[in-house]
Amino acid sequence: MSAHPEQPPLESITTATTALAEESDAVAATPSLPREIQLPSGLLEDLRAIAGAEALETAGRRAGTWLAAALGEVLATENLAQAPTQAFWDALGEILRGRGWGRLRQERVHSGLGVVVAEEWMETGSAAAPGCPFTVGLLAALFEDVAGAPVAVLETACEGRGEEECRFVFGSEAAVRELRARLEDGVSEEAALAGF
């Protein structure tokens, strides 16, 4: 008998149900805030198997819109671009960690590209299909809210592939496309980023 019986996953994700709140006045208990539901993180793998990575990225984008609103509340601003940079990253990390998503931090910023690192992340995909498309959508929508322009996000490493951390590079679509091409040529992320 195992001394450590299998536990249900502690991580959970929080999904914005903005659409439901918008579509039905009856469910909008607090009209200014989207309602939230919590799902076991393992459900993301099931959803990906059923609906595909693109659908998860789209769902992540909806959650990113919610996250931007939540950050605005915490930082007391309607324009996240005006929030102090450190306060922004601190609040973002705190909101996600507090909901069991794992640890998120900004690692460094290159000219035109930023890197976000996630550890013990709630989304890693399955062994057969590793990767974090929900998080890619989440970060893209959040950063687009800040930037007021399209932002592309590329996951360059993933805990689901046995790597130490999930790494997300973000920037303009052109810059991320260029980075992707360099990585596909076999250049390391560090070397590829150094060229920016």
**What's the closest the beta carbon of residue 160 comes to Zn ion, in angstroms?**
5
Binding mask 140-179 for Zn ion (x = CB under 5 A): ------------------x-------x-------------
CB-wise, 67 or 83, nearer to Zn ion?
67
- Identify the CA nearest to 15 among candidates 29, 36, 40: 36
**What's the closest the beta carbon of residue 136 comes to Zn ion, in angstroms?**
9
Total residues interacting with Zn ion, rule: CB under 5 A: 3
Work out the burial of residue 79: count CB atoms within 10 Å of its CB; fewer than 13 is exposed, 13-18 middle, 19 or more buried: exposed
Q: Which 103-132 positions form the footprint of Zn ion (CB under 5 A)?
A: 132
CB-wise, 66 or 168, nearer to Zn ion?
168
Give the C-alpha separation, 29 to 27, whole Å: 6
Give the C-alpha separation, 60 to 136, whole Å: 7
CA distances from 11 to 40, 43, 60, 122 (A): 7, 11, 16, 6
**What's the closest the beta carbon of residue 67 comes to Zn ion, in angstroms?**
17
Binding mask 58-77 for Zn ion (x = CB under 5 A): --------------------
Provide φ and ψ at 186, rounded to 5°: 95, 5
CB-wise, 166 or 169, nearer to Zn ion?
166
CB-wise, 21 or 179, nearer to Zn ion?
179
**What's the closest the beta carbon of residue 39 comes to Zn ion, in angstroms?**
18
Instruction: Report whether 167 contacts 117 (CB < 8 A).
Output: yes
Alpha-helical segments (H) within 34-109:
43-51, 53-75, 85-98
What's the full length of the chain, in residues? 196
- Side chain identity at 87, as an amino acid letter? A
CB-wise, 145 or 159, nearer to Zn ion?
159
Q: Residue numbers of the site for Zn ion (CB under 5 A)?
A: 132, 158, 166
